[in-house]
């Protein structure tokens, strides 16, 4: 018999002063049996950084053709494709062909090795952004995970803070691949 996903609930209050986005989201997260608390909380962080009423969680680890998070427009076209972890270059290029914008959040202590191996193979993707979250930060986020969570995320000047109860985790991102600038 296959193991079932564990359900987590999070009330996420977002104050994104950079984008002028302020809202509360009631999130239901299905944590795959092979997924860690750290990875699940990275998905929550990615949601907070891109929060929008149209942003939703994909099947993630359960499906090869869906991202961890995505945002579609009213026609069903994919505006935003978000991956967490270290996807291979074929998956990244396939996502870049399907979505207007692709964002990857890598969080492992081995992210620099992963990026040095695939960076040159995905460099031509103009709609790709890749960020690295320090391993200490992702581990601290993982320790915030509970079956029922009350989370606050404050974003200002490209810095984020995730707070649960009395513990606050500062988040800074290292840019591995910046978004391409528009040509005029």
Domains of the chain: 7-177 (3.10.640.10)
pLDDT digits (tens, 9 = 90+) for 149-169: 999 999 999 899 999 988 999
- Confidence band, pLDDT 50/70/90 cuts, at residue 59: confident
pLDDT on residue 184: 41
- Structure-block tokens of residue 81: 């494709």
pLDDT at 58 over 70: yes
What is the 3-state secondary structure of 50-83? Answer: CCCCCEEECCHHHCCCCCCEEEECCCCCEEEEEE
pLDDT on residue 1: 56
- Confidence band, pLDDT 50/70/90 cuts, at residue 14: very high
Element (H, E) at 146: none
Half-sphere exposure of 132 (CA within 13 A, CB side): 17
Task: Compute CA 164 distance to the chain's CA centroid, rounded to the nearest angstrom.
Answer: 18
pLDDT at 62 over 80: no
pLDDT on residue 2: 65
Question: In this structure, is the dihedral angle defined by the CA atoms of residues 72, 78, 79 and 85, taken in order, positive or negative?
Answer: positive
- Structure-block tokens of residue 172: 């800074």
Half-sphere exposure of 38 (CA within 13 A, CB side): 14
- Confidence band, pLDDT 50/70/90 cuts, at residue 176: very high
Q: CA gyration radius for the chain?
A: 16
Residue count of the chain, please give it.
Answer: 184
Question: What is the rounded average pLDDT for all residues in the chain?
Answer: 93
The model's pTM: 0.93
């Amino acid at each position: 018999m296959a193991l079932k996903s564990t359900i987590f609930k999070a009330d996420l209050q977002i104050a994104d002063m950079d984008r002028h986005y302020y809202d509360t989201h009631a999130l239901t997260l299905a944590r795959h049996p092979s997924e860690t608390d750290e990875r699940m909380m990275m998905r929550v962080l990615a949601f907070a950084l891109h929060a929008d009423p149209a942003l939703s969680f994909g099947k993630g680890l359960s499906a090869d053709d869906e991202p961890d998070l995505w945002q579609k427009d009213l026609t069903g076209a994919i505006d935003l494709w978000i991956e967490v972890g270290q996807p291979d270059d074929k998956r990244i290029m396939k996502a870049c062909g399907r979505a207007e914008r692709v964002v990857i959040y890598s969080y492992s202590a081995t992210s620099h090795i992963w990026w040095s191996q695939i960076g040159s193979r995905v460099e031509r993707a103009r709609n790709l952004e890749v960020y690295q979250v320090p391993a200490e930060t992702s581990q601290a986020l993982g320790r915030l995970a509970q079956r029922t969570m009350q989370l606050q995320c404050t974003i200002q000047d490209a810095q984020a803070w995730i707070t649960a109860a009395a513990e606050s985790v500062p988040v800074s991102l290292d840019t591995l691949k910046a978004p391409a600038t528009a040509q005029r």
